[in-house]
Amino acid sequence: MNVQEYISSGIIESYVLGLASEPERAEFEQKCAQYPELLAARRAFEKELEQFASDHAVPPPVGVKVRFLEAIGDQSSRDRSSSNQPKIIPLEKGSVRMHSGWSRFTAAASVILLLGFAWMAYQFYSLKGTNEELASTNAYLRAKATTSDSILNQIIVEQKVVSDPNTTVVNMVGTQVAPRSSANIYWDSTSSNVFLVVKNMPKLPSEQQYQLWALIDGKPKDLGVFDATNDKVILKMKNTLKAQAFAITIEQKGGSPSPTLQKMQSLGKITQIQ
């Protein structure tokens, strides 16, 4: 590369004054590292520019320096608030500086800042509190919506089963052991689906469960276990093609192979002729 040509293309001036494009800058920086004469030429222009700027300097208003130093004093003390021991400067009585307009201004500004910070912190904490409240309410409502949705879906299923003309409804009534127990069986004899709706079954200890049986020609057939907690919600039980009656017994959790008849809770006979 012809360095002299590159130098006289005006790239140096364009780069230093901040008018070069990003690719031009990258190329220039790379070449500066490569060609010392290019670097020297750049430095020379930078010095000229600095000289020109200081020849045409304009003194700014006095207050700017004080404001600048205050601003960085503030920020640097915030940056290292714990590591820096504050310096103690004895205040002389009647010190002229302390009575200057600026001191008063900074004192007043500090008080205003303090109030401002206090207000912002208050806002921050109260908003934080409100936000947390809203978040927990939101989570609660969401959980509630999920539960409601699943209940609604179950109701829709129940509604379909109940209104189906092929469904046989068997009203299960309490036995002498449990006179108040009651439930409904919805038995679709074409699809052999069995649904159970608990109307009133007492809560059981955790190691026990209710078990539904179909009685076919005097023999019991297991139709699955259920808990009393799903009150008034339809439960899908095991299918059966045949049944003359249904019975509910209390069994160990998970169910038994044959029913414990002395603990039979409710019984329902199918009245409809198959």
Partner 1 sequence: MASWYTDPGSPGSRDCELVLVPLFSLLSASIYQQTLGTTTTYSEQDLIVALKERNNNAFSYLYDNYANALYGIIKQIITDNHELASDVLQEVFINIWRKIETYDQTKGRLFTWMLNIARNASIDTLRSKSYQNSQKNQELADNVYKGTNNQTTRLNVDNIGLKKVLEKLKPEHRILVELAYFKGFTHEEIAELEGIPLGTVKTRIRNALLQLREYLK
Pick the closer one to partner 1 by CB: 88 or 273: 88
Minimum distance, C-beta of residue 250 to partner 1, in the bound complex (Å): 53
Pick the closer one to partner 1 by CB: 40 or 152: 40
CA distance linking residue 273 with residue 168, whole number of Å: 10
Minimum distance, C-beta of residue 35 to partner 1, in the bound complex (Å): 14
Main-chain phi, psi angles of 53, to 5 degrees: -65, -40
CA distance linking residue 116 with residue 111, whole number of Å: 8
How far is CA 88 from each of CA 77, 201, 241, rounded to the nearest angstrom? 15, 81, 96
Minimum distance, C-beta of residue 76 to partner 1, in the bound complex (Å): 6
∠ CA 225-231-237, rounded to 5°: 30
Minimum distance, C-beta of residue 111 to partner 1, in the bound complex (Å): 9
CA distance linking residue 125 with residue 131, whole number of Å: 10
Helix or strand (DSSP H, E) at 194: strand 193-200
Minimum distance, C-beta of residue 231 to partner 1, in the bound complex (Å): 43
Q: Give the burial string for 181-197 (b: 16+ CB within 10 Å, else e).
A: bbbbbbbbbeeebbbbb
Q: Which region, left, alpha or beta, applies to residue 151 given φ > 0 means left and ψ of -120 to 50 means alpha?
A: alpha
Minimum distance, C-beta of residue 139 to partner 1, in the bound complex (Å): 23
Pick the closer one to partner 1 by CB: 74 or 149: 74
Q: What is the DSSP string of 104-120?
A: HHHHHHHHHHHHHHHHH
Q: What is the dihedral of CA 57, 59, 65, 67, to 10 degrees?
A: -120
Minimum distance, C-beta of residue 131 to partner 1, in the bound complex (Å): 13
Pick the closer one to partner 1 by CB: 16 or 233: 16
Pick the closer one to partner 1 by CB: 109 or 155: 109
Pick the closer one to partner 1 by CB: 42 or 225: 42
Main-chain phi, psi angles of 224, to 5 degrees: 110, 165
Pick the closer one to partner 1 by CB: 122 or 140: 122
